[in-house]
Copies of this chain bind each other. A is one copy, B any other.
Amino acid sequence: MKHFISPADVTDIAQLVKEAAQLKANPYAFSDLGKNKTIGLLFFNSSLRTRLSTQKAATNLGMNVIVMNVDSDGWQLEMNDGVIMDGNKAEHIKEAAAVIGQYCDIIGVRAFAKLNNRKKDYQEMVMEKFRTYAGVPIVNLESATRHPCQSLTDLLTIQELKTVERPKIVLTWAPHVKALPQAVANSFAEWVNLTDYDFTIANPEGYNLAPEFVGNAKVTHNQNEAFANADFIYAKNWSSYEHYGEVLPGNKDWQITPEKMALTNNAKFMHCLPVRRGLVVADEVLDSLASVVIQQAGNRVWAAQAAIKRVLEELG
């Protein structure tokens, strides 16, 4: 695997999920693979799970890890070409990416959507500039439109917990006070669409995801209907794609409650975290046995480790 930026980089997703499960069973089986190899983890945005789990994953593979909060440890990067850099950006991403590629064998990059220009966000400028200029493999630690480490984790978690061959999975929008990126939801849809699970996306009107991510999934604006017979409820807020980056009024009643969970087939509750209690989901759901969010978060290590292992193997 040359990069791990989107599922297009993965030829065999089912096999990759399987490898993640194997690494979970045997974390140090490949502890020599990364010897004398360095991964740089670059954060343009805050991170808890991704920061810790990716460090852990790389360390399990014997790699050296360097972590950098780009803006505060360093400085702001200019992303656009052909500009006169007389503002507050001290370095162009063209140099920064190439230089970091001199020091790192693999670069992990987190750079969220800015949510003020849909076209720009969906061009994935930061990730693509790193792919173009770094000269080394890039691992996506959540980009403007995708979060593949999370989605691989999610498929691993579903595989561990499913009790039927073809579970019904519902990705449901849930309320929030802030405008959040669509990346987790996009990516989850994209990856589940590559399985043969029964997949439904439930969201209020105005919150349809981008068509290329929705794919063949069923889309409904009726949350209760979606929940009927669901085996997995995957809750996540996202800001509007149609009215780009906006939080539309209303829809507070989309919170995940015990009443709604009762409509399901004893479904497991999933969320990528961080999650706002009492807003996205009721305490009673998150504190119930149905909630598997901690197991899901724990699986971040094995997903990251599987992805990095693949990239290391290709590096040779």
Given contacts A48-B74, A99-B49, contact A276 B90 (CB under 8 A): yes
Number of copies: 3
Contact B46 A83 (CB under 8 A): no
In the complex, are the beta carbons of B72 and A56 less than 8 A apart?
Answer: no
**Secondary structure class of chain A's binding surface, majority of residues:** mixed
Question: Could you list 21 examples of A-B contacts with CB < 8 Å?
Answer: A27-B36, A28-B36, A31-B36, A46-B72, A46-B74, A47-B73, A48-B100, A52-B100, A53-B103, A59-B64, A69-B72, A83-B277, A84-B279, A86-B279, A90-B276, A92-B276, A95-B293, A95-B297, A96-B274, A102-B298, A103-B301
B66 x A47 contact (CB < 8 A): no
Q: How far is the CA of A301 from the CA of B40 in the complex (A)?
A: 15
For A48-76 the 0/1 string (1 means CB < 8 A from B) is 11011101100110001010110011110
CB pair A59–B73 under 8 Å, yes or no, is no
Contact of A283 among B64, B68, B82 (CB under 8 A): B82
A315 interface contact, C-beta 8 A: no
A85 close to B (CB within 8 Å): yes
Measured between alpha carbons, how far is A277 from B95 in the docked complex, in Å?
Answer: 10
B residues less than 8 Å from A36 (CB atoms): 27-28, 31, 60
